[in-house]
Amino acid sequence: MANTKCHEGRRGLAVLLPERHGDDCCAEHAGGDHSADPHGHAATPMASHHRRVVFIGNPNVGKSSMFNAILGARARVMNAPGTTVLLERGDYRYDDQTWDLIDTPGTYSLLPLSPDEQVAAQAAIGNDGNAEPDLIVATLDATNIARSLYFLAMILELGRPTVVALTMNDLAAKNGAEVDPKALSRALSGVPVVQVDGRTGRGTARLMQVINESFAGTPMPAGLHPVDPQEVDVKQWVEGRADERFDWAACVIADINLEDRERSTFSDRIDRVLLHPVGGIVVFLAVMFLVFQATTWLAGPAQDWIDGDVRDWITGGIDQVFALFGPDAADGWLHGLLVDGLLDGIVTVLTFIPPMGIMFILLSLLEDSGYLARAAFVMDRAMRLVGLDGRAFLPIVVGFGCNLPALAATRTLPDSRQRVLTGMLIPFSSCSARLSVYLVLAYAFFREQAGLVVFGMYVFSIVLILAVGILLRKVKFHSLEPEPFAMSLPPYQCPRLLVLVKSVLARLWGFIRGASSIIVTMIVIVWVLQGIPATASAGSFGDVEDVHESVYGVVADAIAPVFKPAGFDDWHASAALMTGFVAKEVVVGSLSQSYAIDTGDETEAEEGSGSLGTAIANSFEESSGGHGKAAAIAFLLFTLAYTPCLATVAELKRQYGGKIAAQTVGLGLVTAYILAVVAFQLLRLII
């Protein structure tokens, strides 16, 4: 094939570059087996145990769906060594062999621009402490073959055995641009090409068979030149051969007779609405409203059922077992430990499953359908205020429903630094559990303006997120600067039910396995502290009638003076805040318990207007020296900003590690204390 013919068929970004002459990129593609390494040594069979297979590809090409279809529940999430970048990996058995499969973050180049892309490049190249891969699975998007081929060229130049997984070919066929895997393989000089549908798992068995056949080596296509990845300067190599790769990709496209069709696709027609400067924002806000409602309203009845009926059933079963040992057996400390300690912890974990499950379902639907990428594009400009891009908006909005599923939503962010920053900001989103505290204190102190006070707390939450985000960028995330936001918009498609269910169940199990032990342990510890009498007249272990006379009450008394500058140095308030560390939902219940007031089935407004509100008002008036309203606002601000619930802390630790979780807890406490003190000291001069 002549050079001039090749350049007439140039596609994608290649048409913007000057033509290069002298390289016979369109030489016969079937020529030569280039399975030797860059130094010319012949390929030798690999060891048959624990071969390392790295999956790599551009973002949104279906790579992770394909990976999960292969491994299923055997896939496990982990951090790349020394980073917060999430990887999926797992062992795969093929005959008598065990392969180590690794799914890397999506990347457009082996010259990284972010920690995620750096991890992907290191895994493919095998440097910086990463073992060299025995084989690379390069995932190509058939709907954007030109860009995918340019990336494939870099992978092939590494000289590793390579298998091409061709995804989204069904969508390309609908647009009249289907890629023939056999023709593509011939154009690649015999590099194996397997068509795979990650949503259904179709083609994965054939892919694994081809991988097994390709460990000994695969050809190096004509027009590309192998490098020694351990000796080459990556920046010079990637940038220096860019034109050659574009020309090569254009030749491959010409060889497979694939022409770009200037036609309006189904995705293009929908995008005219969803990416519209006005209509797109309206649709996005509507979608966010539905997500918010689903994680609060839909999950609410299920949570109430677990916290009510399920708890009663299990408690009844425990009571029946204890009844076998006599009528007084249920009055001992062991019964209290099981029911009010261990069972309470288990039920707390179970109550988080409905919102987490709903959020995982919605995230999968939004991501698999292709809408999540559009949402990021629409909200990108607003999120740049804190150094994030539009994809970070979804988790923060979800955080106003519940912080826990919001942290799960950060997994959709491609940059690990963005995930950590967003995760540290989410606890400042005023979750629905805090609303009960707002309502009780608002009606206790500001009955006529209660609604305005509650609304003000949510507005202040948004301001606080922006302020803390800007502070974190300057102090901790120096390198996270706003960059031009470029991403591939995947075509719209219908998510597959079976794959979605498997993914949701795997994520839920990961949460239960990672967070349950921390939550249950801490709740048991709180019960033990409340059950240890601190005075001779307090009662016996597990039977302390007045919580103030327990070790828990003594600790609350010791902590209370810390809040004197904020106006609420009262043990009732400090005890409630301690309990709120476990779950914000129980703050009001803790106040009722410490004041020995039975609120029954009263609403938050009735509690705030009734005897509980009166008791709180009297305590705050006394502790603040007559500035109860100022102290109430300080308490509300502290509740908004301080340590998130225990389940959220456990999820922070599970996703980002203990150091980030500790820093987030510390940041919340310091911010909350400063806000409370400043607010009280200023407001006591005004109200």
The residue length of the chain stands at 687
Residue 12 known to bind ligand: no
Cross-strand bridge partners of residue 164:
138, 193
Q: Are strands 543-544 and 539-540 parallel, antiparallel or unpaired?
A: antiparallel
Q: Are strands 76-79 and 135-141 parallel, antiparallel or unpaired?
A: unpaired
Residue with tokens 């301001």: 463
Element (H, E) at 86: strand 86-94
Residue 105 known to bind ligand: yes
Candidates 222, 48, 78, 218; CA nearest to 137 is 218
Residue 644 known to bind ligand: no
Residue 399 known to bind ligand: no
> Which class for 585: exposed (0-12), middle (13-18), buried (19 or more C-beta within 10 A)?
buried
Q: Are strands 86-94 and 193-195 parallel, antiparallel or unpaired?
A: unpaired
**98, 49 in Cβ contact below 8 A?**
yes
Residue 144 known to bind ligand: no
C-beta contacts of 525-533 below 8 A and 24+ residues apart: 526/552, 526/578, 526/579, 526/582, 527/336, 527/337, 527/340, 527/341, 527/344, 528/337, 528/341, 529/555, 531/333, 531/336, 531/337
Count CB-CB contacts under 10 A for residue 142. 24
Residue 127 known to bind ligand: no
The 8-class DSSP code of residue 136 comes to: E
Q: How far is CA 188 from the centre of its chain?
A: 37
273's tokens: 């609405």
Residue 81 known to bind ligand: no
Residue 130 known to bind ligand: no
Residue 4 known to bind ligand: no
Residue 106 known to bind ligand: yes
Residue 613 known to bind ligand: no
Cross-strand bridge partners of residue 83:
none
Residue 169 known to bind ligand: no
Residue 62 known to bind ligand: yes
Residue 104 known to bind ligand: yes
Residue 430 known to bind ligand: no
Binding-site residues for Mg(2+) sit at 68-69, 72
Binding-site residues sit at 57-64, 68-69, 72, 103-106
Binding-site residues for GTP sit at 57-64, 103-106
